[in-house]
Chain A
Amino acid sequence: MSRPLAAGGNKPKPKMKLKIKPFAKPPSLPADFEATTWAKLSASVTAIQSKLPLTNASGAPVSREELYRSVEDLVVHKFAASTYASLSKMVDEHVSSQIESVAASAPTLEPSSMADFLPLLESVDRAWASHSDAMSSIRSIFLYLDRSYVIQTPNVPALHDVGVSCFRKHFAASPLRSRVIDGLLFLIKCERDREAVPTSLIRSLLRMLVSTSLYSESFAPLFLAQTTLYFREEGLSKISASVPVYLEHTHGRLKQASEQVNAYLDPSTRPELIAAIESTLVTPHATTLLAKGFDDLMDNKRVAELRLLFELLSRVDKLKDMKSALGMYIEEKVRELLESASSRKTPAPPLPSSTSTSSSSAPAPSSSSSSSSSSFTSCVDGLLQLRDSIEVMYKEAFSSSETFKAAVKAHFEIAFTTKTNAAAELLAKFVDSKLRASKATDSDTEKTLDKVLVLFRYLNGKDVFEVFYKNMLSKRLLQRKAASMDAEKSFIGLLKTECGTNFTAKMEGMLKDMDLSNEIVSNYTSWCKDPTREAKQLVQPLSEDTSKCEMNILTNGYWPTIKKSENLLLPEAITVHQKRFIQYYEDKYQGRRVEWVHSLSTCDVDFAVDSKTKKTLVVTEFMALVLIAMNDAGSAPVSMKTLIERTGIEQAEMELVLQSLSLGKKTEGASTRVLTRVRSGDQKQDKTVLLTDEFVVNRKFRNNLHKVKIPQIANKLEEEAEEKKAHESVKRDRMHTIDACVVRIMKTRKTLKHQELISEVLNQLRWQAEASDIKKRIESLIEREYLERSDTGKGYNYLA
């Protein structure tokens, strides 16, 4: 290699061996190492805290890396503890001065509006923000300290925590704390009062409180207290408003609370907040709400509000109250409806409106007349509507709660029980009217009848219903008013599934009878027409009949007992038919007896009003007898007494007949006065008929129709007497049933304690009997020596 010549020689140097010698004197830290480093660091810290750029003592920017290394150096050289201490002190001082300056700048006046609070809150917010920022910068510089010294030394909090706790310490001690909290509460209150508030400010301040752990001890209790107070007052003032408004409002408040939690409150407050609202707005007012508004809501079918109410009450566990309010409502309404029907005076009270839009008053009752028929129809219609609306409510508002369903059922039953006879009678009448209507086969009618059955299930005294229904059924069938046999059969079928065959046996018998009767009659007619029969065998051959006769043959046991008239003097026109039929019947069915029931028969009578006019009158048999008796009188007036003698009709019945014939409606062209009563002028012209009253045929009888139906004046007294009889027969039947039941039970058990006997009997009876009734029957049985009291007391023995 060629080396450039150096002056002074060109001697090649030998290879040099590098030798590194240790320091003769180990390097030591400069004496003020710590002080200088720390000075550098603290200057940076101050700069950060003052938001100035980082510079060193001479103004040149210093890099964070350098600062970081400085920290590392200090730690390595075991100056960690003092560094930490100094740093903490710096932070502490800074924070304290910050807070004092904010406090000092706060207005001294009592803040009263939002504008007053805001500056303070904002400055606190800013202070916290800057502190947090500073701390995070500082921490990143002093990271090594955090990671080594802090971790290795127990009980030394991390730098971040140092920052937080310093802030907390000074903030909590300063009057700022209470003022800030007051400010926040005020803002929240403003929000509740529907003013706009800076939610982000609130949020950040609350976050600050959370971070400094002041939230749960300082803020939350005060917040809840304020909330409670606020809503309690609000509840008291708003409760006087209408119920729907109040419900809406409460619902709104609950929603708002939820939003508040989402927006700025700490989630931990949520349950307490909701509970506070519930306990102030809902719980104390629950009873008031129910008492005031529940009935209206139900009447007007305010489903949404009811659902709201239901939800609110279920939160505070007051559903029981709502249930009982519902129960009371049902009972009240049912009672009203039943009473209106049985009083027969006023039309039914307003029914729940059928529209779902809010209407403040219910529609006027549809029936304008106050006759009994429309009142009971409207009553049952009302009941059905009530039930329907409850069903709807139940599904939509009460979320199909099982307990509500049970309560509804129970209260309907109770309501029906208190007026059990009235309710049973009502249902029977309603079904009767439906089955008479010409639309009996309509699917609508079918649906209605199905619903009636639901009401029937609520009935306590089903046997009362049975008695009434049977009576009405018999009238329907015999007067041929039953619109459709199919409808009849299907309804009886429904009853059968409900109550068993026993219940409907007689009714089915009645229906079968009608079919059977038709058969017999057709057989009879062919028997009469039978040409092989010798002419003189018949009482009178068909060809010589002057009148036609239609017959219904009934089996005695199935039909309700009807009053028999023993002593009627029948004209030959009628007796001919009777005798001939008896001929046939006794021939065919030997051993059976035929009895004629005149009170249910009707006649068509030809009436020659005068030489030009002929009418046909449709009258009852009794009326016909009277008219025929008048035939013989010519034009002389006939007294009631004479008529009684001639026809054999009883006086009470005769009075009705004559009233129907002579004192009926007298409208133009639609007269029903076939007879005219002749009374001397000084006697009162009233509705009662005396024995001395005399009658003539009304030759001035005018009616536009050719075939005129003369209605039988319904005897109110008689109807009521019938009803009473029905009730009493039910009572008697029940007594006998109880007796039979008791004997039956005792026969198998031989000895039974009183309590057990009563409960057994109650189980077996088809109606809700009173224990005292059963007791009376037991005493009667003791008297008749079916039972005796057992010596061991409280029980009975069966006496064979």
Chain B
Amino acid sequence: MWGRKSSGSSGGGGGNFDAAGCTALFNKYVDAEEDPFSIGMDGISTLCDDLDLDPTSDVRVLVLMFKLGANAKPGQISQSEWNSGMQALGMSSLDDLKAGLAGMDTGFMEQAEFRKFYKFVFQFSREGTHRTIEKDMIVALLQMVLAERNNTHLNSFCAFLEASGEEAVRITLDQWTSFLEFSTLIPEDCAGYDEDDENCSWPVLIDEYVDWKQKSKKK
């Protein structure tokens, strides 16, 4: 895991990486009964309390997990990921983390990195082995993740999802990532979106969204 760079992050606290302190910190949040080698959602929640973050509304939690590289399984971070991630960030204590929080916002990320983060959010927020996320969660995530990114479609897309009836709509990774692409390419009034043209490779969900939007505009 050496050589992993996290661009755009402000440097952590002290210059020396304290491996022991890092591990100790890790163990603080681990639930030894469940799984001593990874911090689960409970532990992350506790960590957030310590950092004064609200995990349900503060995107920096996710950014932190992203930068630490919690890729293996959704909703948890393993010990090796923790160690290498903390090391890469140059943080080994809670204070370091607190200090580094300022740099963990999404507003200043470059497009490429944000994309990766965005994808990470989906993967991390899944439940267990599911490959999809249900729409209520999606709406919450979108609002959290895209808040600072000037996304013109955010609100109407969330309204669309919520209005899409009782069917338990589950969103796939493909749809999730496509939404980001879509909102960068197509302006708010969906001008130039022609279902039969080059735009036809968007997922059906996006087509339905555009339809819905244009219909509700007519009303």
Contact = CB atoms under 8 A, between A and B. Distances in A.
A783 B172 CA distance: 7
B200 A779 contact: no
B198 A755 contact: yes
Interface in B33-92: none
Contact of A754 (B172, B201, B207): B201
B218 to A, nearest CB: 22
> Interface residues of B: mostly helix, strand, loop or mixed?
helix
B200 A755 contact: yes
Contacts of B172: 779, 782-783
Interface stretch (A495-503, A730-738, A769-777): A769-777
B198 A789 contact: no
A758 B200 CA distance: 10
B194 to A, nearest CB: 12
A776 B201 contact: no
A754 B204 contact: no
Given A755-B198, A783-B172, A783-B174, A775 B204 contact: yes
Nearest to B172: A783
A783 B174 CA distance: 7
Interface string A768-800: 000110011001001100000100011110000
Contacts of B175: 779
Given A779-B174, A782-B174, A771 B200 contact: yes
A772 B204 contact: yes
Interface of B: 131, 172-175, 178, 181, 198, 200-201, 203-204, 207
Quick one: which of B131, B172, B174 has the most chain A CB within 10 A? Answer: B174
Contacts of B181: 793
Nearest to B178: A789
Contact of B200 (A754, A782, A783): A754
> Interface residues of A: mostly helix, strand, loop or mixed?
helix
29 contacts: A753-B201, A754-B198, A754-B200, A755-B201, A758-B200, A771-B200, A772-B204, A772-B207, A775-B200, A775-B201, A775-B203, A775-B204, A776-B204, A779-B172, A779-B174, A779-B175, A779-B203, A779-B204, A782-B172, A782-B174, A783-B172, A783-B173, A783-B174, A789-B174, A789-B178, A789-B201, A793-B181, A795-B201, A796-B201
Interface residues of A, number: 16
A410 B135 CA distance: 44
In the A-B complex, the 4 residue pairs with the closest CB atoms: A754-B201, A782-B174, A794-B201, A783-B172
Contacts of A782: 172, 174
B97 to A, nearest CB: 35
Given A782-B174, A796-B201, 11 more contacts: A754-B200, A755-B198, A758-B200, A772-B204, A776-B204, A779-B203, A782-B172, A783-B172, A783-B173, A789-B178, A794-B201
A85 to B, nearest CB: 84
A508 to B, nearest CB: 39
Contacts of A793: 181, 201
Contacts of A754: 198, 200-201
A753 B197 CA distance: 12
Contacts of A775: 200-201, 203-204
Contacts of B207: 772
Contacts of A796: 201
A755 B172 CA distance: 22
Nearest to A782: B174
Contacts of A755: 198, 200-201
A601 B12 CA distance: 81
A665 B116 CA distance: 74
A793 B207 CA distance: 16
A735 to B, nearest CB: 14
A656 B196 CA distance: 52
A754 to B, nearest CB: 3
Interface in A753-772: 753-755, 758, 771-772
Contacts of B200: 754-755, 758, 771, 775
A793 B200 CA distance: 11
B201 to A, nearest CB: 3
A793 B202 CA distance: 10
B116 to A, nearest CB: 14
Nearest to B197: A755
A672 B178 CA distance: 66
B63 to A, nearest CB: 24
A753 B198 CA distance: 9
A403 B132 CA distance: 52
A772 B201 CA distance: 10
A424 B168 CA distance: 34
Interface string A526-553: 0000000000000000000000000000
B115 to A, nearest CB: 11
Nearest to A795: B201
A470 B210 CA distance: 43
B22 to A, nearest CB: 35
B148 to A, nearest CB: 25
B131 A783 contact: yes
A790 to B, nearest CB: 10
Contacts of A783: 131, 172-174
Contacts of A795: 201
Nearest to B203: A779
A752 to B, nearest CB: 11
Interface string A80-120: 00000000000000000000000000000000000000000
Nearest to B196: A771
Contacts of B198: 754-755, 794
A795 B202 CA distance: 10
Nearest to A758: B200
A795 B198 CA distance: 10
B25 to A, nearest CB: 36
Interface string A678-691: 00000000000000
Contacts of B131: 783
A758 B197 CA distance: 12
Nearest to B174: A782
Contacts of B204: 772, 775-776, 779
A754 B206 CA distance: 15
A476 B201 CA distance: 47
B186 to A, nearest CB: 12
Contacts of A789: 174, 178, 201
Contacts of A771: 200
A779 B201 CA distance: 10
B179 to A, nearest CB: 13
B9 to A, nearest CB: 26
